[in-house]
Structure 1
Amino acid sequence: MKNKNFRTWLDAMELSHPLVIAGPCSAESEEQVLEIAHELKNTDATVFRAGVWKPRTRPGSFEGNGAIALPWLKKVKEQTGLLTAIEIANAHHAKLALEFDIDVLWIGARTTVNPFAVQEIADAIQDTDKIVLVKNPINPDLDLWIGAIERLHKKGVKNLGAIHRGFSSFRKSNYRNIPSWQIPIDLKSKYPTLPIINDPSHICGNRTGIFDVSQTALDLKMDGLIIETHCHPDKAWSDAKQQIKPERLVEIMNQLKVRKPRFEQEESLSKLNALRNEINAKDEQLLETLSERMQIVENIGKAKKESNVAVLQNARWNEILDKVLEKGETQGLSKIFIERIFKAIHQESIDHQERIING
């Protein structure tokens, strides 16, 4: 891989399978690291990952073995031929990773949110030909994600990629980190050649959902998967619930379907275009309806201004939300989807009325 272009390498690999980065959440011991690596060397995994420094949410948890684990990864490469990957959180980590010839460096979600830390890392690895992957920030902020990538690019780091690991939310969810698929889709739209790797382990926070999230990622044309893998996951020192055994990784990769990038038959393409035209027409209708709704909202704003009434009417808003949630469910629409749409409409309505009332 050395000195090759990351995008070109991935495109060539895609002929057989997506990029697979696998290994334990934490490098617990030399024996553990080598045991897992040898189990993975005959799978679809190309890169072996292991957490050397572990930024934990609260003190007292296992926070990694640090630099003493780096020689273990060197042995992984020597004995198995797998490339190696670790997370770096500061310039010191970055310099040590380069010193031990780690092939793939990734910047974690907690670091991505801090432009100062990202800049220090970028300065430390300036002009490197290593693969450098940037995880999305904890919060759903596309500009912050792009900013971290740009800082590295401006320092001559050319083999760049992104890792989609989902986003924290106060809302209850089946996910540890909500995928919010539209955000990596927007990133892909803005930078079509930027490789994006999906991290189903951190999105799910458990083993059961990893296949479904991985399949969705491939359906959305993401370039690979980073899956936490451990020979004895129940005994793992960190994130035990989301790690799978190497044999389960093999099963998942055998079951995943890699979709064709485009329609190949003229008849199928013609049918798709007809359906897309229907979508375009419906989108126009939606925009017209929203515009008409906002005109009514403005009239409501004028009435409130005349009577000196507050913009927010909680009872009315809760009544609307309950009604649309119930109606949406009968029409096969998820509550989460309807709630997001109508909260956005409500916020826009409030903004319209605020402008009118405050002149």
Structure 2
Amino acid sequence: MPYASTAAQLAVTSHFPGKKPLLISGPCSAETEEQLLATCTQLAATGRVDMLRAGIWKPRTKPGMFEGIGKPGLPWLQKARELTGLPTTVEVATPQHVEDALAYDVDVLWIGARTTVNPFSVQALADALRGVKVPVFIKNPVHPDLELWLGAVERLAQAGVADIGLIHRGFASYGNTEYRNAPMWHLPIEMKRRLPELPLICDPSHICGNRTGLAAVAQQSIDLDFDGLMLESHIDPDNAWSDAKQQVTPQRLAELLDSLTWRQHTSTEQEFLDKLAQLRTQIDQLDDEILHLLGRRMQVSESIGRYKKENNITILQARRWNEIMERGLRKGDQLGLTDSFIRHYFDAVHLESINRQNSVMNT
């Protein structure tokens, strides 16, 4: 069954609190009452934040790392809510976390990436939330598995959670890269395509793992029509007890937000709509031509597969594949296409060609 149909049957809704863009900020971890209250009051004073966040429980990689202040931090967050008038949100990973957070009037909960990856944990949270009217954000799982992310939405929807939102915080990848967690933008875009009614916000702090890339990642998400941002802020980032490199002061956060270009989803100007329709018609026509050409290419691949079968020749011809890729890269460069796109394109075409020839050989 297509996922869209399943989502419709589960009545996944979009009445999420706040506005677009929804801006959430606060420290990675609540460390002391003074630190949390000072950060939250300064954030509120900027006039740019809609919701306060703070890590109360922190799932960490190794024992001995700071794993959050725990339940004693909840009264601090409750006091920040009273002082600023802003709603609050925290990450929960166990049913007890849910119970404790709600006891201290936390307005919105979120499920973290290391919990989303485990269906047993998500189901336990869904059971704990059954009958509770509280909005819940779901972060993408640590590794790039779209079905796990969708499965978490289903589990909460089946438990009757009416207001569900999504947070894109990037995906873990082995080795040193440009990002702490690779954004892999095609995955949140696919989530938005499948579940267009659910608000989707971006967490540049966890994608970047540093301060320098925050603005660029935030702007990319805005350009992709995300519904908001979650950014970590601390009054003294360099001395934060967790994730010091990716946090910014409330003042720097305000400057960062002011530097962004906030875009509209569409326009009511008829001239714009007419011109866009013309260009999209051209795109549709070109896509049709490309698909027809790809169809013809696969027919030739099948002919090659039959010829190889008749002569008992292997499907994979590494030298020929290298020639195709090198030729494609040269041609792509002449046409202004990136190497990354050409490699992805030819990898996909080559895999389909292999599948076609394999089918011919084994029929």
> Structure 2 length as normaliser, TM-score?
0.90
2:42 paired residue number: 39
2:74 paired residue number: 70
CA shift for structure 1 position 171: 7.7
SS at match of 2:23: strand
Aligned-residue identity in percent: 51
CA shift for structure 1 position 213: 1.6
Q: Distance in 2 between matches of 1:172 and 1:332?
A: 28
1:244 paired residue number: 248
Q: Structure 1 residues 124 and 261 mapped into 2: Cα distance closer, same or farther (>3 Å)?
A: same
1:258 paired residue number: 262
Of 278-287 and 340-349, deviating more is 340-349
The alignment covers a number of residue pairs equal to: 350
CA shift for structure 1 position 218: 1.8
Q: Distance in 2 between matches of 1:53 and 1:254?
A: 31
2:321 paired residue number: 317
User: Which amino acid is 2:25 matched to?
Assistant: A
Counterpart selection for 1:27 from 14, 19, 30: 30
Q: How does 1:6-21 map to 2 (within 5 A)?
A: 7=15, 9-10=17-18, 13-14=19-20, 18-21=21-24
CA shift for structure 1 position 189: 2.4
CA shift for structure 1 position 237: 1.9
2:8 paired residue number: none
Q: Distance in 2 between matches of 1:168 and 1:185?
A: 18
CA shift for structure 1 position 155: 1.0
1:98-126 Cα shifts (integer Å, max 9, x gaps): 22221111111111121111110010011
SS at match of 1:176: coil
1:232 paired residue number: 236
Counterpart selection for 2:335 from 331, 353, 356: 331
Q: How does 1:136-155 map to 2 (within 5 A)?
A: 136-155=140-159
Q: Distance in 2 between matches of 1:319 and 1:237?
A: 52
Q: Distance in 2 between matches of 1:269 and 1:133?
A: 34
Q: Structure 1 residues 125 and 284 mapped into 2: Cα distance closer, same or farther (>3 Å)?
A: same
Q: Distance in 2 between matches of 1:252 and 1:139?
A: 28
* Alpha carbons 2:25, 2:230 under 8 Å: kept: yes
2:4 paired residue number: none
* Alpha carbons 1:6, 1:131 under 8 Å: kept: no
CA shift for structure 1 position 139: 2.5
2:207 paired residue number: 203
SS at match of 2:167: strand
User: Which amino acid is 1:37 matched to?
Assistant: C
User: Which amino acid is 1:7 matched to?
Assistant: H
1:296 paired residue number: 300
CA shift for structure 1 position 170: 4.4
1:100 paired with 2:104, answer: yes
Q: Distance in 2 between matches of 1:301 and 1:168?
A: 38
* Alpha carbons 2:26, 2:232 under 8 Å: kept: yes
1:182 paired residue number: 186
SS at match of 1:86: strand
User: Which amino acid is 1:141 matched to?
Assistant: D
* Alpha carbons 1:127, 1:158 under 8 Å: kept: no
Q: Structure 1 residues 45 and 325 mapped into 2: Cα distance closer, same or farther (>3 Å)?
A: same
User: Which amino acid is 1:184 matched to?
Assistant: P
Q: Structure 1 residues 221 and 7 mapped into 2: Cα distance closer, same or farther (>3 Å)?
A: farther
Q: Distance in 1 between matches of 2:116 and 2:41?
A: 32
1:53 paired with 2:57, answer: yes
RMSD in angstroms over aligned alpha carbons?
2.0
Of 270-279 and 214-223, deviating more is 214-223
